[in-house]
Chains A and B, each alone.
Chain A
């Protein structure tokens, strides 16, 4: 958006520009002759060129009131709340899940007792892929990358002794999100909690699975229908629940640049909104419950600019493109996780420092919730000691660093405002491209975003190989005898056997007729157009397993195979 009148952030008078030219000639250039710049490309982590200096001329055309504005007001560049962390710190949410439900329950209780303020559940791959632990494809995977949840029985164990109306829970699940949300609700109701009192988030972002993380089950179109069904179900049944967390995290982990992360994530959001509107939902009915999830990589300023641009773009899209009237529909609320892909196996203690810088970027960028990675995560799931350091990192930033004392402290920085605007413009360019392809589902079917990400990923790997990007302890400052961590978490292979026995015993003990009846109703709903959440909830309560319910939908929707992109 071009402004007719230029009103600079701080000072853009001609006098300043003249002064800048004078400074270059009289001070900068002679100095450069004596002290030439280091022979490295000066770029962001993502490869965006960075100038030697930013000054008022760089923010010409950025209208303070319209483009930057005031916290808690449209376009929310400076934050969604007027007071931000002066009133309430972000939620410190450490991702937890390994082994069995009982083991993970222990870790959840430990984190709550250590000052963690929200729960975040990582499910193991068989659950994410819609298989029970006794499925042949689950071999070797049970309890490894998350917690094994096969049925409502496991979900009850997972939250045993944790009152679900007193915590907020985030569940990282996408293809089977409808089932895990139903299990959560059923487990809470068994504890005596009212569904309307439940607060939390299901990730439920299937588009980024096709783009990046690849834990999809069904083809994009029926998957989109499941998402729209959860939007409408949450609006009616779980109105404090975030029905989706639209995730750039995985897009970045798959190797995208910061701009690609921003553009593809926000465009995924646009796609969900379009599908929900086409299904007849009202924008202000579901939009206030949409939430986002971003990555925090090493480049502090690039990351801060990314979050500021994200809020501004989303507000504009919701208000101007989708005509949302409720101001809550314009807000981009987001969770952040520090970049797992940036951590190194070499000199693992360096990771503590990386995580601190990344977490600082998230906080300076105004996140609502934060997960800090543990130093041992390139080697295994975190030990209790490692996860405690990660949590303490957040607490030190919150209570010792002083960065929470004022709202959006980097606003007005010539560099940050320029970078915010550049990222915004680059994002709109991607939007135009995706619009011209007919939207994100169509673009995914052509393999376009997947290829963009794969190209960026290879370019980054090569830049590191050429030593254009220095990775401390890897391509520079390495030692031959790196100190290894003393201990990493090891998942016992016996867990698989125990979990298989548990799910098989359940299958023998429940009312099989009721299970079959409810699964038939899931199939029937899949063939029609009714909201899938209701029959799935009934099947869950009858102790149908996650694999059985996913299979019932597989019967109708089929499975997805991606186009080959290398």
Chain B
């Protein structure tokens, strides 16, 4: 049997708006993936640690507070440090246009802004995780 795609959905920073993160978890599960939710206010260290322990194929980060310019570089740094080259990182939330190019440059594979559809996100994950 083909191994199920495992995704960690993470909510870093101080913001508690978790509607989006929870909806994504359910949508990924409905699409046949294993989705694990970190709960609120996780530090980048805790998120990467959880991704390692859970042996996930992807990390989806939900941020709407504007803290992405600190949180995402730190997550990418830890992902590299732990040699998690096969883990795809994507994010969703409110990201100003001028920050998008920099986030892509440090390796954030997909950035989903408000209004993105669930199917679009689910398909993106399916197409972009490394499946052996």
Residues of A within 8 A of B (CB): 125-126, 128-129, 131, 137-141, 144-145, 209, 213-216, 253-255, 341, 343-346, 378-380, 454, 457-458, 461-462, 465, 474-475, 484, 488, 490-491, 493, 561-562, 564-566
Contacts and interface: CB of A to CB of B under 8 A. Distances in A.
Q: Which of B15, B41, B68 has the most CB of A within 10 A?
A: B15
Interface string B34-77: 00010111010000000000000000000001111111000000
B94 A141 contact: no
A462 B46 CA distance: 31
B113 A562 contact: no
Interface residues of B, number: 34
A405 B40 CA distance: 47
Contact of A145 (B23, B41, B66, B97): B66
Given A125-B65, A145-B65, A465 B118 contact: yes
A454 B22 contact: yes
A213 B65 contact: no
A380 B96 contact: yes
30 contacts: A125-B14, A128-B14, A129-B14, A138-B14, A140-B65, A140-B66, A140-B71, A145-B15, A209-B16, A213-B16, A214-B18, A215-B16, A253-B17, A254-B17, A255-B23, A344-B115, A345-B114, A346-B115, A378-B114, A378-B115, A458-B22, A458-B26, A462-B118, A465-B117, A488-B96, A490-B98, A562-B39, A564-B37, A564-B39, A566-B37
A347 to B, nearest CB: 9
Nearest to B73: A140
Contacts of A139: 67, 70
A380 B16 contact: no
Contacts of A566: 22, 25-26, 37
B14 A461 contact: no
A141 B67 CA distance: 5
Contacts of B39: 561-562, 564
B7 to A, nearest CB: 12
A386 to B, nearest CB: 14
A565 B119 CA distance: 22
Across chains A and B, which 5 residue pairs bring their CB atoms closest together, nearest first?
A: A214-B16, A140-B70, A140-B67, A144-B66, A125-B14
A491 B66 contact: yes
B19 interface: yes
A137 B117 contact: no
B40 A214 contact: yes
A493 B69 contact: yes
A214 B42 CA distance: 14
Contacts of A346: 115
A379 B99 CA distance: 12
A379 B115 contact: no
A139 B13 CA distance: 8
A126 B96 contact: no
B115 A254 contact: no
Given A145-B15, A458-B26, A490-B98, 14 more contacts: A126-B14, A140-B65, A144-B65, A209-B16, A215-B14, A215-B16, A341-B19, A344-B114, A379-B96, A454-B22, A458-B23, A465-B118, A490-B96, A566-B25
A457 B21 CA distance: 11
A427 B62 CA distance: 33
Contacts of B13: 125, 140-141
A141 B115 contact: no
Interface string B109-124: 0000111011100000
A516 B66 CA distance: 34
Contacts of B67: 139-141, 144
A213 B40 CA distance: 11
A463 to B, nearest CB: 11
A253 B70 contact: no
A484 B96 CA distance: 12
Contacts of B22: 454, 457-458, 565-566
Contacts of B26: 458, 566
A216 B98 CA distance: 32
A254 B21 CA distance: 11
A204 B115 CA distance: 31
Contacts of B25: 566
Contacts of A461: 23, 27, 118
Contact of B19 (A255, A462, A475, A562): A255
Given A214-B16, A214-B40, A490-B98, A474 B71 contact: no
A125 B98 CA distance: 22
A209 B18 CA distance: 12
Contacts of B15: 125, 141, 145
Nearest to A380: B96
Contacts of A562: 39-40
Contacts of A140: 13, 65-71
Contacts of B40: 214, 562
A138 B15 CA distance: 11
Contacts of B94: 378-380
Contacts of A493: 69
A231 to B, nearest CB: 25
A380 B113 CA distance: 12
Q: Which of B19, B27, B37, B67 has the most CB of A within 10 A?
A: B19
Contacts of B23: 255, 457-458, 461
A138 B94 CA distance: 18
A425 B118 CA distance: 34
